[in-house]
Chain A
Amino acid sequence: MTTLKLKNLRKEFGDVVAVKGLDLSVRDGEFLVIVGPSGCGKSTTLRLLAGLETATDGAISMDDREVTDTEPKDRNVAMVFQNYALYPHMTGRRNITFGMNSSGSFSDEEIDRRVAEAADTLDITDLLDRKPQAMSGGERQRVALGRAIVRDPDAFLMDEPLSNLDAKLRIQMRAELTRLHAELNTTTVYVTHDQTEAMTLGERVVVMNDGEIMQVDPPQTLYDYPKNRFVAEFIGDPAMNMLDVVVEDGVAVHDAFRLPLPREGADRSSAELGKARNAVLGVRPEDLYLASERPDLGETDFTARIDVTEPLGDNLLVHCSVGDEVIKMQAAPRSPLEPGGTVSVTYDPARLHLFDQETGDAFYHSTEAVPPDKSVERTASD
């Protein structure tokens, strides 16, 4: 079992700074997901952990061992790649055992036993004698996972392992990865650009942008209390609506509406709400309702013009215009809404976020952020 620590980790490729001084610690046995748009430095971070890239500055340690300049093979980590990286001329079994033979630290019986065990766990026993060409994408990824497991590494590093699979298989493999992790309890760092994958798999999720860490939190905290605009807009689909407002005396004022901001139970920075300032109001599509659907939320003066409606089956996604801005909201399926019409909109007052217009940092969430989930700590220490 292993903890990983990154200290002020920095990587430059010529003039490009891919990773700008990361500080991060991965707990023992944790499933940590790094998510971010392409080019944000998430893969580079993973490759630095693996030793496939050398850090320009900063340090990496595994447990208390400094590994910044250690060769990849001496780090005892296993990596799973997006394109599986199976040797095409070797059978499944040979692919799995090839690396084990190299390290020379396993006896033949040990290898056989481990392969059988891993094959059993991953349900790939009948794939062992096939070559990769004769396997489907999902099967190949399973064999690649098998190869990672048998070596009993200190940490798994996964670089978008599910991105090449079709949607249905991806969901299935996602569940399987969660199960596998629960079984093996090996420290795992998983890189993806898919926020759904990040949310479903991660015990904690690291959101990265432009070589920097934006936020590290359990998925639900990330969703409910984004630390800045980037996280707010990146996590969640459809994305959070962002509206420029002026905050005056605890009220968010927009050309089209005035939203009173609840102070009760809001986090302590709400003291700032007294001062008049420009801000960005963030509210998720599912926290906006048609006034007719939720009479309990009271009257508002918030009206919007419907541009487009997209029936998604379980709900209706409505694109509307508020003044010059476009917002998305979710309405009950089969709501009789016509493009061009006007609707009265209401909202969940407990789910409002305000961001600084300049820096993008969140300075107000309408409910207090709970301290990081205790359940995560528990799984980690088990």
Chain B
Amino acid sequence: MTELLQQAKRRYESARETDEDADESEATGTFGGVNLNVIHPQLWLLAGLIVFPIFVTVIVSTKETGIVTSLPDLLPGTYALENYREAVVDYGFGRFMWNSLLMSVVIVVGKLTISVFAAMAIVYYRVPYKDVVFLFILFTLLLPVPVRFVPLYQLINDLGWNNSMLAITVPYLASATTVFILRQHFLSIPTSIVETAKLDGVGPVKFMIQVLVPMSKSVLVGVSVIMFVYAWNQYLWPLIIIESEANQVTQVGLQLLQGDVQGGNLSWSLVMAGSVLTLLPPLALMILFRKPLLETFTIQQK
């Protein structure tokens, strides 16, 4: 599979290099000398491999029992409405979704705010031992949240934050990755722009809000999408720290859908309906903001 992917990538790259004869190739059905009849099926195959499980998920979520054993089982069933209604209404999945959304938004907004301030301080201010401070921030990447679970659990309990929104958002607010990405972006903004602002007497707050943030819009959006997906997919920590079902998030909620039918037959169709619902918000964001997302993670020239 990886071999196939690499092969396709190589072909695509060689095709891009010879992009100039694109006009001519349109007529002949080739793209820069590569036969489209060869490369397209390959790409379709790869895309299909990735999409297939999601496709099965969607199909199963429309069935009564949701056991797929043969090809005809892959036809959509007629229980779609019933399954989704049951998940959302009977199992309170809407509540989980709302909690997840709240958690993700708080994390994203908090992360961005803190990171913009931090990156701004690192790039534009003369802080003693600035590089050491930045290295220390990067160093925290070596200690991801799961490593800190035990002391964190203790701390949150001591603070009396357990089973609350604070418990699942605050530990995630500081982000070395975001600081790093923003720092790199700020460094690519010409210093003369900063100096012009200084000469004009533009204060730091005005500079941040009216110059720095608008000039970093696409990076901020790109980072937000990544961070949102990351926050949305939190599972282990909410599972540990959140006790009441009313405060639970959707990733853990999925588990509850499944756990409820421990007795005998596991209702896969219900679990899949929950999965599809859980998948939708990040997917929508990805589709909506794919352009700034790609821009953020390509090398920029200013």
Complex Cα–Cα for A74 and B200 (A): 9
- Does B211 lie at the interface of the complex (its beta carbon under 8 Å from any beta carbon of A)? yes
Are B199 and A78 in touch, CB under 8 angstroms? yes
Q: Are the C-beta atoms of B206 and A73 separated by less than 8 Å?
A: no
Please tell me which one of the listed residues B193, B199, B211 contacts residue A50 in the complex, with CB atoms under 8 A apart.
B199
7 A-B residue contacts at CB 8 Å?
A50-B199, A52-B199, A72-B201, A73-B199, A81-B196, A85-B190, A89-B214
Whether B265 sits at the interface, judged by CB under 8 Å, is no
Q: Which of B193, B206, B217 contacts A85, CB < 8 Å?
A: B193
Would B200 and A99 count as touching, CB distance under 8 A? Answer: yes
A103 cross-chain contacts in B, Cβ below 8 A: 200-201
Q: Is B202 an interface residue (CB 8 A)?
A: yes
| Max chain A Cβ within 10 angstroms of own Cβ: one of B193, B199, B214, B217 | B199
- The 4 A-B pairs at the shortest CB distance, nearest first, are namely A99-B200, A73-B201, A85-B192, A81-B192
A72 contact from B193, B198, B203, Cβ within 8 A? B198
Question: Known contacts being A72-B199, A78-B199, A89-B215, is A102 close to B193, with CB within 8 Å?
Answer: no
Does A265 reach chain B (CB closer than 8 Å)? no
Contacts of B200 in A (CB 8 A): 73, 98-100, 102-103, 151
For B195, list chain A residues within 8 Å (CB).
50, 52, 72, 79, 81, 85
| B210 part of interface (Cβ distance < 8 Å) | yes
In the complex the two chains form, is B199's CB within 8 Å of A79's CB? yes
Selected from B199, B203, B215, B217, the residue in CB contact (under 8 A) with A87 is: B215
Does A278 make an interface contact (CB < 8 A)? no
Asked if A323 is an interface residue, CB under 8 A from chain B, the answer is: no
Contact between chains at A88 and B196 (CB < 8 Å): no
Shortest Cβ distance from residue A78 to the other chain B in the assembled complex, whole angstroms: 7
Whether a CB of chain B sits under 8 angstroms from the CB of A189 is: no
Residues of chain A contacted by B215 (CB below 8 angstroms): 87-89
Taken together as a complex, chains A and B put the C-alpha atoms of A103 and B199 apart, in Å, by 10
A82 to B196 CA separation, bound complex (whole angstroms): 12
B194 to chain A, nearest CB (A): 9
How far, in angstroms, from A102 to B211 measured CA to CA in the complex?
13
Interface set, chain A 63-99, CB cutoff 8 A to B: 72-75, 77-79, 81-89, 98-99
Most buried by A among B198, B200, B214, B217: B200
Quick check: A99 and B198 within 8 Å, CB to CB? no
Contact at B201–A52, with CB atoms within 8 Å? no
Within 8 Å CB of A147, what residues of B? 196
Decide: B196 and A102 in contact? CB cutoff 8 A: no
- A sample of 20 more A-B contacts (CB under 8 A), given A83-B192, A99-B197, A102-B201, is A72-B198, A72-B199, A72-B201, A78-B199, A81-B195, A81-B196, A84-B192, A85-B192, A85-B193, A85-B196, A86-B193, A87-B211, A89-B214, A98-B202, A98-B210, A99-B199, A99-B200, A99-B201, A102-B200, A102-B203
A302 to chain B minimum Cβ distance, whole angstroms, is 51
Q: What is the distance, in angstroms, from B33's C-beta to the closest C-beta of chain A? A: 34
User: Distance (Å) between the CB of A27 and the closest chain B CB?
Assistant: 23
Taken together as a complex, chains A and B put the C-alpha atoms of A85 and B189 apart, in Å, by: 10
The residue that B199 contacts in the complex, of A77, A84, A100, with Cβ under 8 A, is A77
Q: Closest approach, in angstroms, between the C-beta of A76 and any C-beta of chain B?
A: 9
* A100 cross-chain contacts in B, Cβ below 8 A: 200
Can you name the residue of chain B whose Cβ is closest to the Cβ of A78? B199
CA distance A301 to B103 in the complex (A): 93
Proximity bits, A134-148, B CB within 8 Å = 1, else 0? 000000000000010
The interface residues of chain B lying within 8 Å CB-to-CB of A102 are 200-203, 206
Measured between C-beta atoms, what is the minimum distance from B17 to chain A in Å? 28
Identify which of residues 146-205 in chain B touch chain A, using a CB-to-CB cut-off of 8 Å: 190, 192-193, 195-203
Determine how close the nearest CB of chain A comes to the CB of B233; give it in whole angstroms: 33
**Bound-state Cα–Cα, A51 to B201, Å:** 12
Report the bound CA distance from A77 to B199 in whole Å: 7
What is the CA–CA distance of A147 and B214 in the complex, to the nearest angstrom?
20
For A89, the chain B residues whose CB sits under 8 A away are 214-215, 217
Q: Which residues of A contact B210 (CB under 8 A)?
A: 98
Bound together, the chains give a CA A73 to CA B201 distance in angstroms of 5
Q: How far is it, in angstroms, between the C-alpha of A95 and the C-alpha of B79 when the chains are bound?
A: 59
Q: For A151, what are the chain B residues with a Cβ–Cβ distance below 8 Å?
A: 200
A83:B190 contact, CB within 8 angstroms = yes
Could you tell me the distance between the alpha carbons of A170 and B195 in the complex, rounded to whole angstroms?
24
Residues of A within 8 A of B201 (CB): 72-74, 99, 102-103
- Chain B residues whose C-beta falls within 8 Å of the C-beta of A98 in the assembled complex: 200, 202, 210
Cα–Cα, bound, A77→B210 (Å): 22
Q: Are A99 and B206 within 8 A (Cβ)?
A: no
**Chain B, residue nearest A100 (CB):** B200
Q: Chain B contacts of A74 at CB under 8 A?
A: 201
Kindly identify, within residues 27 to 84 of chain B, every residue whose CB is under 8 Å from any CB belonging to chain A.
Answer: none
Q: What is the distance, in angstroms, from B295's C-beta to the closest C-beta of chain A?
A: 14
Report the bound CA distance from A361 to B115 in whole Å.
57
Select from chain A the residue with minimum beta-carbon distance to B201.
A73
Closest CB of chain B to A190's CB: distance in Å?
Answer: 16
Contact B190 A73 (CB under 8 A): no
Distance in angstroms between the alpha carbons of A81 and B192 in the assembled complex: 7
CB distance from A117 to the nearest CB of B (A): 19
Per the bound structure, the CA–CA distance linking A52 and B198 in Å amounts to: 8
